[in-house]
Amino acid sequence: MSLLEKQWQKVWDKVTGPDLWILIGEGFLRILLIIILTSFIVRVGSKLVERIFRQRDRGPFKISQRRENTLKKLVQNTLSYVVYFTAFIMILDTLTIPIGALLAGAGVAGLAIGFGTQNLVRDIITGFFIIFEDQFSVGDYVRTASIEGIVEEIGLRTTKVMSWTGELHIIPNGNITQVTNYSIHNSIAVVDVNIPYEVDIAHAEQVIEDLVKEMPDQYPQLISMPETLGVQMLETSHVVLRVIAEVRPMEHWAMARILRKEIKARFDQFGIDIPLPRLVMYSRDNLNKG
């Protein structure tokens, strides 16, 4: 038997022998077990995180509902990343791939591309401080980077904001340089009411004041009784009265619509008309006669 035939016979015996297939079967079962355990740990961990945050009122640390929604999703995502990365390393080890050399190569590659990922690092650092300082949370209505809407998700790299018309905006955290948060403090509903010059201003103000005294009992979103500030502006054909009302966060738009409706209905009861545009016409003949 030639040398080539002997080498081929050794390879054939190794391939068809039981040792190789037992090793492959053990590796397959180990990888399958790793995948099952990974899925189980992620699922149980997510439920455990939800349970921990659900019992926040009983624990020593009190957090708001806003911050709970933000931190809960962030912790669940971080848990998933860590578990999946660990499972990936274990699978590589099962396949006898040298993990040490792979990690060393990844470190060198990361150093090489680090200069080109400055924006990514900036996004992550900014996202960390947004969460740490509680600048805004999931569910808040904010305006930032010329975008206005409800915060759907906050990550370490990007923030997702849903506008009221349904568009989902994904903003890199590094682009968030200034944020206006409408959901933290009470809002102010501002309503300007136009009345004709023929109407007595004091009478119109008294009608509005009598109306707003009744509103706190009807609308629980009011923090205090609406207030009539008085004459805001003198226009060409009408006087502008301003009415304000302090309401719970994000209720000012709805309350402004309610105020306009109630004031209009009350004006109709007292015969106060909303002024219409006026056009004054002069006849040339009458001017010449004059």
- pLDDT digit string (tens) for 270-280? 998 888 776 66
Q: How many domains does the chain have?
A: 3
**What is the DSSP annotation of 10-79?**
HHHHHHHSHHHHHHHHHHHHHHHHHHHHHHHHHHHHHHHHHHHHHTTTTSSS---HHHHHHHHHHHHHHH
From residue 18, alpha-carbon distances to 10, 28, 61, 191, 289 in Å are 14, 15, 59, 85, 124
Cβ pair 255, 247 in contact under 8 A: yes
The last residue of one of the domains, among 116, 150, 173, is: 116
Looking at the structure, do residues 21 and 112 belong to the same domain, yes or no? Answer: yes
Model confidence at 115, pLDDT cuts 50, 70, 90, reads low
Looking at the structure, do residues 20 and 99 belong to the same domain, yes or no? Answer: yes
Largest alpha-carbon pair distance within the chain?
137
Q: What is the CATH number of the domain that holds 128?
A: 2.30.30.60
> For residues 184 and 66, what is the distance between their CA atoms, to the nearest angstrom?
10
Chain-centroid distance, C-alpha 157: 14
Model confidence at 96, pLDDT cuts 50, 70, 90, reads confident
Model confidence at 146, pLDDT cuts 50, 70, 90, reads confident
Residue 96, Ramachandran bin (φ over 0: left; ψ between -120 and 50: alpha; else beta): left
Q: Is residue 288 part of a domain?
A: no
pLDDT computed for residue 239 by the predictor: 92
Range picked from 57-61, 67-71, 76-80 for highest mean pLDDT: 76-80
pLDDT, tens digit (0-9, with 9 covering 90-100), for 1-39: 566 666 666 666 665 666 666 777 777 888 888 888 888
Question: Which residues does residue 230 pair with via DSSP β-bridges, in sequence order?
Answer: 242
> For residues 254 and 235, what is the distance between their CA atoms, to the nearest angstrom?
26
Q: Is residue 213 part of a domain?
A: yes
Looking at the structure, do residues 141 and 235 belong to the same domain, yes or no? Answer: no
Q: Is residue 35 part of a domain?
A: yes
Q: Whole domain around residue 203: which residue ranges?
A: 187-269
Looking at the structure, do residues 9 and 97 belong to the same domain, yes or no? Answer: yes
pLDDT computed for residue 51 by the predictor: 78
Q: Is residue 275 part of a domain?
A: no
pLDDT computed for residue 64 by the predictor: 61
Cβ pair 123, 158 in contact under 8 A: yes
Question: Which residues does residue 144 pair with via DSSP β-bridges, in sequence order?
Answer: 147, 179
DSSP 8-state symbol, 275: P
Model confidence at 247, pLDDT cuts 50, 70, 90, reads very high
**Taking the CB of residue 74, how many other CB atoms lie within 10 A of it?**
18
Looking at the structure, do residues 14 and 109 belong to the same domain, yes or no? Answer: yes
Looking at the structure, do residues 175 and 203 belong to the same domain, yes or no? Answer: no
Looking at the structure, do residues 101 and 124 belong to the same domain, yes or no? Answer: no
Q: Is residue 276 part of a domain?
A: no
Within 8 A by CB and 6+ apart from 263, the residues are 191, 193, 208, 211, 243
Looking at the structure, do residues 107 and 144 belong to the same domain, yes or no? Answer: no
